[in-house]
């Protein structure tokens, strides 16, 4: 995760200096899940309200070109079997000032490099329209670098042009 900080369990009280806002999302992880469960409890006792143990499968959600991650905002309320993780891309939302890489392949390369530890875990991908293309490329590059592949890739979009009724095409 870009700009993430490692805070060992034995130094969990230092979380206050790393994450100032107690309602900011805080993700904890350890390989076995034991220390991360302890960290969740400790952080909640310290008053952190949005702490997630990422020992569940991660669902990476990629919006369509130019869209905001807000399109996934309600998903977290209805899906609890996985960690819904809308991906903030460069040149959008809070990352608006960051330059967008020149190709889908380069954007995927940067994403995989910045998130290599997460990409070694169990993950699935949901992509809508161009987000599906980016999700596929991320899965391909992740497999090349780690041998890990997603549980599933869900690609959504509109109907294929070949199956849209002619009347709808004429009205467009």
How would residue 169 be classed by pLDDT, with cut points 50, 70 and 90? very low
Q: Which residue has the higher pLDDT, 152 or 118?
A: 152
In whole numbers, what is the pLDDT of the chain averaged over residues? Answer: 83
DSSP per-residue string spanning 126-172:
EEETHHHHHHHHHHHHHHHHHS---S-EEEE-S--GGGS-HHHHHH-
User: Using an 8 Å Cβ cutoff, are 128 and 62 in contact?
Assistant: yes
H or E segment to which residue 84 belongs:
strand 83-86
Most confident residue range from 21-30, 58-67, 84-93, 96-105: 58-67
Per-residue pLDDT reduced to its tens digit, 85-113: 899 887 777 776 777 778 889 999 999 99
Has residue 172 got a pLDDT over 50? no
Residue (of 75, 93, 91) closest to 83 by Cα position: 75
């Amino acid at each position: 995760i870009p700009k993430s900080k490692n805070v060992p369990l034995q130094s969990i009280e230092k979380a206050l200096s790393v994450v100032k806002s107690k309602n900011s999302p805080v993700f904890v992880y350890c390989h076995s899940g034991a220390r991360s469960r302890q960290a969740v409890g400790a952080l909640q006792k310290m008053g952190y309200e949005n702490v997630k143990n990422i020992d569940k499968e991660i669902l990476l959600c990629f919006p369509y070109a130019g869209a905001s991650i807000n399109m996934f905002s309600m998903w977290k309320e209805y899906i609890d079997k996985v960690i819904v993780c809308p991906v903030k891309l460069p040149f959008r939302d809070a990352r608006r000032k960051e330059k967008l890489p020149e190709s889908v392949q380069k954007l995927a390369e940067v994403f995989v490099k910045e998130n290599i530890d997460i990409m070694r875990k169990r993950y699935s991908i949901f992509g809508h329209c161009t987000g599906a293309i980016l999700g596929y490329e991320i899965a391909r590059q992740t497999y090349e670098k780690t041998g890990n592949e997603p549980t599933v890739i869900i690609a959504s979009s509109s109907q294929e042009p070949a199956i849209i009724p002619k009347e709808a095409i004429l009205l467009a």
